[in-house]
């Protein structure tokens, strides 16, 4: 962690002291996690039955887990929400920008109505994906060649990219890029936010910073690449989901990240769930762990609710690979053979 990040973390901890419960709720952490009762650990790869308790004992969002140890608000939020640390700092800073002079429960950041209007505006500006546009080029470079695209995906010709520069409180638009827009839907089917993948010349425009959710706290929502039948495949990434869709013919939902995968809502009508995990053997097995946490929860819920459900987890053999990599290698080998 560099000096700038350390300074931001110190500032956040100082300003957030005593307000973590309201901050965590505003970020999207389920209130049930914060009720002070012994319960399963919500952090990726842990679980159990009653090993975790949120206490906020020292006013720092404190929790304790008998298996993975103790921590504070930042660690809890990152683990539960599956956010990148930089995005989490920005989200908490937005909360503090509103709560600093007023009570901790005050309204913070853009209102839900404003975010809803922003999502609708971006979605309306975007167009259905067509052959030859930037999204089509990007996906074809990943070996994903489609003649028709899911309605949950769109192409935006010039979407603003924002960053906070030189300690500014508000993000500033620094560029515009073509983008793949994905609609993130909650359990009731309504859109709750958008996912953006910024593109340039048929590639990701900004490396790992190319993918962003418009608002944090998606809490088990998904990018529904298909309407589910009695069988549903689950992946982390959108590209991985499209690759699984092509290779298996199954209906697919994308969870967007491993933290959200663990909380994913699945309709009771789905009788077989196939979870296609990323092989994160080089990154503390996060992908595999989240896939099995989801599988365990779905089976427990099915047993509790009397649902006849089968759940399977599939993991690529090679460390660092996901199913989009497997599909791309398959396409390349077939082209070579031809």
Tell me, what's the pLDDT at 96?
A: 76
Report the alpha-carbon distance of residue 316 to residue 288 in Å, rounded. 10
Any residues with CB less than 8 A from the CB of 86 and at least 6 apart, and which? Answer: 5
On whether the CB atoms of residues 82 and 260 are closer than 8 A, the answer is: yes
Tell me, what's the pLDDT at 218?
A: 86
pLDDT tens by residue, the chain, 338 residues: 455 667 788 888 888 888 899 899 889 899 899 999 999 999 988 888 899 999 998 889 999 998 888 999 999 999 999 888 888 888 888 777 643 333 333 334 566 778 889 999 999 999 999 999 999 999 999 999 999 999 999 999 999 998 877 666 677 889 999 999 999 999 888 899 999 999 999 999 998 889 999 886 788 999 999 999 999 999 999 999 999 999 999 999 999 998 899 999 999 999 999 999 999 988 789 899 999 999 999 999 999 889 999 999 999 999 999 999 999 999 999 988 88
pTM equals: 0.69
- What domains does the chain contain, in order, with CATH numbers? 3-99 (3.90.580), 110-182+195-214 (no CATH), 219-338 (3.40.1360)
DSSP lists the bridge partners of residue 293 as none
CB atoms within 10 A of CB 174: 10
| 306-333 core/surface letters (b: 16 or more CB in 10 A; e: else) | eeebebebebbeeeebbbbbbbbeebee
Tell me, what's the pLDDT at 109?
A: 53
Tell me, what's the pLDDT at 108?
A: 47
The closest of 36, 46, 213 to 122, measured between CA atoms, is: 213
Tell me, what's the pLDDT at 102?
A: 32
The closest of 276, 275, 261, 253 to 219, measured between CA atoms, is: 261
Q: Give the helix, strand, coil percentages of the chain, each rounded to 5.
A: 35, 25, 40
For residue 109 the two structure tokens come to 């950041």
């Amino acid at each position: 962690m560099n000096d700038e990040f350390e300074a931001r973390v110190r500032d956040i901890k100082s300003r957030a002291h005593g307000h973590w419960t309201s901050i965590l709720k505003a970020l999207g952490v389920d209130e049930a996690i914060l009720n002070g009762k012994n319960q399963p650990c919500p952090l990726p790869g842990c679980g159990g039955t009653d090993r975790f308790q949120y206490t906020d004992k020292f006013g720092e969002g404190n929790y304790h887990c008998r298996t993975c140890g103790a921590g504070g608000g930042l660690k809890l939020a990152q683990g539960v929400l599956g956010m990148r640390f930089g995005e989490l700092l920005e989200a908490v800073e937005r909360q503090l920008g509103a709560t600093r002079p007023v009570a901790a429960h005050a309204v913070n950041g853009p209102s839900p109505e404003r975010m809803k209007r922003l999502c609708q505006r971006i979605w309306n500006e975007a167009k259905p994906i067509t052959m030859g546009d930037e999204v089509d080029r990007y996906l074809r470079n990943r070996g994903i060649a489609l003649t028709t695209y899911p309605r949950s995906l769109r192409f935006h010709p010039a979407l603003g990219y924002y960053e906070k520069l030189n300690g500014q409180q508000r993000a500033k638009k620094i560029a515009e890029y073509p983008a793949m827009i994905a609609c993130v839907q909650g359990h009731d089917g309504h859109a709750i936010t958008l996912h953006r993948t910024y593109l340039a010349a048929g590639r990701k425009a900004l490396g790992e910073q190319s993918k962003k959710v418009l608002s944090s706290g998606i809490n088990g929502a998904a990018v529904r690449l298909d309407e589910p039948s009695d069988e549903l495949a689950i992946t982390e990434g959108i590209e991985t989901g499209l690759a699984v869709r092509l290779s298996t013919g199954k209906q697919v939902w994308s969870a967007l990240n491993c933290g959200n995968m663990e909380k994913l809502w699945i309709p009771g009508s789905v009788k077989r769930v196939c979870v296609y995990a990323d092989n994160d053997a080089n990154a503390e097995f996060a992908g595999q762990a989240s896939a099995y946490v989801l599988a365990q929860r779905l089976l427990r819920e099915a047993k509790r609710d009397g649902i006849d459900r089968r759940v399977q987890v599939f993991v690529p053999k090679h460390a660092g690979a996901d199913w989009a990599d497997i599909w791309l290698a398959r396409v390349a080998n077939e082209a070579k053979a031809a």
